[in-house]
Amino acid sequence: MSLPLAGLCAIVTGAGRGLGRAEALELARLGAAVVVNDHGRPGRDGSGAASAEPAEQVAEEIRAAGGTAVPHSGDVADFRQAGELVRLAVEEFGKLDILVNNAGILRDRMVFSMTEDEWDAVIRVHLKGHFNTTRFAAAHWRERSKAAGAAVYGRIVNTSSEAFVAGSAGQPNYAAAKGGIVGLTTSTALALAKYGVTANAICPRARTRMTEDVFACLRKPEEGLDPLAPEHVAPLVGYLASPTAAGVNGQLLVVHGGMVAVLERPRVRAKFDSKQEAFTYDELDALLTPHYAGRPAGETFAAAEVLGLKRG
């Protein structure tokens, strides 16, 4: 079997269950040594006591299959603990090569009902959690590159969502965090390219603890692989983490059920120029009102329309 990640070290956050677990197992199958991170709180809203058990179980699963793994149960949304996670990878395996950010929680509420804590908690875990690990991994790669006087190997795979692409009425906190992750990813891709590091984001659609209500109407088949199984997402993460994907940088990809869609950055749909030095209200009314007449009130990016996306 081909082992494109042999000799490489990977961190996967939120790897105790669902997507993160599938991704950690895939990276290990492809030859990487994996640091399995999961804070272990049982509630999908981040509630409950933290536990080392989920991370330890997945690490043991990897070792039982002949791979190499160590667990880490720290909270990646905590700046210090995220730094400790990256240091653990370097201490255990000599270097870090791959960072997969997957950890997240949900606290769904309509925007007019959402509390400050519900907003802050989701932004903290998703967006700040992605930043924290990225910051320490980026510093590690920059230092190695400067010491070597050459580019090094580095891969970041971040987890965004179709909730950002298509909108999600009951998830303003989640959609905002996932949109922020795309911005973080493209900024990081530009900043680290000269060091040999790539950064990409995926929008996975999978049946997990976090999406159980979203896909409740789509029953899991009694036989065969579920089209919404996390195992459909993991190979793309393995590819983006591999040497073969060196030319893929700053990209956003939707993946589920045997499909991968590469999304374009937003394009200009229409452009209007004032016939005078600056626009007036009346001129804008004459130009823009007819342009939007007849369009759906909730229309978002064309990519969402093409993919037929709703919520996820």
Please report, in tens digits, the pLDDT of each residue of the chain (312 residues total).
Answer: 779 999 999 999 999 988 999 999 999 999 999 999 999 888 777 888 889 999 999 999 999 999 999 999 999 999 999 999 999 999 999 999 999 999 999 898 999 999 999 999 999 999 999 999 999 999 999 999 999 999 999 999 999 998 888 888 889 999 999 999 999 999 999 999 999 999 999 999 866 555 555 544 556 666 666 666 778 899 999 999 999 999 999 999 999 888 899 999 888 889 999 999 999 999 999 999 999 887 765 555 444 444 444 434
Residue 111: the pLDDT is: 95
Residue 168: the pLDDT is: 83
Residue 309: the pLDDT is: 44
Residue 312: the pLDDT is: 40
CA distance 172 to 17: 24
Rounded to 10 degrees, what is the CA torsion of 141, 144, 150, 156? -20
Helix (H) or strand (E) run with residue 132 in it: helix 129-148
> Is residue 15 within 8 Å of residue 21, measured between CB atoms?
yes
| pLDDT > 90 in the chain, percent | 72
First to last CA, the chain: 34
CA distance 112 to 249: 37
Residue 165: the pLDDT is: 85
Task: Supply the residues annotated as catalytic.
Answer: 161, 174, 178
Note the pLDDT tens digit of each residue in 179-231: 999 999 999 999 999 999 999 999 998 665 555 555 445 566 666 666 667 78
Residue 305: the pLDDT is: 44
Distances (CA, A) of 1 to 209, 217, 296: 32, 38, 50
Note the pLDDT tens digit of each residue in 140-150: 999 999 999 99
> Is residue 185 within 8 Å of residue 250, measured between CB atoms?
yes
> Is residue 188 within 8 Å of residue 139, measured between CB atoms?
no
Amino acid present at 90: V
Residue 228: the pLDDT is: 66
Residue 258: the pLDDT is: 81
